[in-house]
Structure 1
């Protein structure tokens, strides 16, 4: 405003100076002073304007510095987001690899358990066959011994009769020798008696030989039974070794189960199906559940809203951001459902555990086999050492 006033005043004074050539030096000096004052005022206004602009520039510089700082923070945040995405991707890859390893290990363990079961069944069958063979041989031996005793009794009866007859003949011959010592018939009768005695002696020798052979057969049968008992002992020893291996496998399986539970506590244990609101809500509940020990029985999705929980097939729905599970004619919250049905399902799993059933079956069969071997073990012949 002051600059415009000074410019309008100066031409007026110049025209007055031209028109009034007689104006004195005082007026000229006054005009110069006025001009100087106008320039001083204009300089002050310029300086004030420059100060205001410098303040605005400083303010703009401060604003620019603040914006640069925010830009750097935003860049750092973007870098953190990129790093988080990379870490998440790597964790997902490791999780998939870990699931593959767990699945492969589980399949291998099942195959080993099946092989052990087949081998154990073959050992049990062989034990049963050996026991049946032992029983059959014992029965045959008893039958043969009975027949030998019957035959020996018959021979002894014959010998007794022959001896009685010989005694009778001797007595008769003695009586007749006193009467007809010189007769040839008595001599021939004595010769007949001698022949009969010889035949009786030969018969006794035959019976003695048969008895010796029967005794030999009895000893051979005893040796065979001892060999069978040795086979049974080795089979039982093999069964015990298999039981030990089975216990080691059970310990290894328990270790793997604990390791899997620990891994499940570190990573997400349930991956939802895309575009399924109920499955996503269920996955959020499971993955954020504080007590993983209660989640030993998992939900297996069959279709939208239908899941398999152990041996139960249940319907799941979401009401007002809460998960409800249909059981029978009504609905339970998921916490109530887990508290009520998880222990029962765990008991069913333990009863259906094939390794536990197999161990109990093997232990029972081992006890029965040991008892039968002790009860049916043959007694060695008293003449053998």
Structure 2
């Protein structure tokens, strides 16, 4: 039965591939350097750190990606810190953060905080305690308290009153962070297979572009690759990442278009059907109804984000529905459970909490699916 279904849809797959290829032709024609050992799973804890360094590009000031990220975090560490976040080793292969902090200091990217800066971080209560300790007046605002302490107390004695001194970026350090903003961005935003090492490779490939352009191009090409390999679950994840990326730039219309594809793929069960065999099909049919417990639903996270994009777009609902129908109509799945119109309607029924209507549309789709899978 399933071989017949696959045979039936194989012609559609080829047609869709040609359609996607035409879309890709409209992107900028950008040569891509393939780096075999840099496609790193960011969750992996197994690293050949020397390989990472050998294949990475240093900045114009000679810093590597992991060193720039340490520079970004440096102001949160006190001098002599020993308790560092686990991600240094698990995500980036960094075993000795302190060694890097010392190097950054010796190279002029970091310095120790001054006594003025230390006092500025203290509470007024703490400052008054210090003033009392040195038999000084405790009246005045914070600036006056700090000035009185500095003028009337030996700086070394004053500094010894504090157990911790922190790192602070120098102007050179701040310049380094500004010029390599992509490092902290990709650390904060986990996007598909990208991490500081992989994006460092992309940033140094020709033609030179902004890091946001590089990420967008990478996501586009990844989507094309997944589609061409019939890996629609990964394709959906890629489109989801692209939607969030577009929304960061307030391109909510584009973000809604991409989220529409994600919704269409989710509702049509890409996680169940696009595999070499279909052992989940019977389980899927058994758990198709009722809507409330169905396996084929819009994930809560996707629904929440889509609702937010609709709100932020400030577009009329009818225009949004047209955008979504256009996106869903151009999407492809090997086996279609819900039509583009049904997927669009399900979304808005979810938003409006029209659960009776949702039950009806799921019952209709269930009857249709039984004819395909069972008869």
Say yes or no: TM over 0.5: no
TM-score interval (norm. to shorter): under 0.3
Which structure has more helix as a fraction of its residues?
Answer: 1
Give the structure with higher Rg (CA): 1
TM-score by length of 1: 0.24
TM-score by length of 2: 0.25
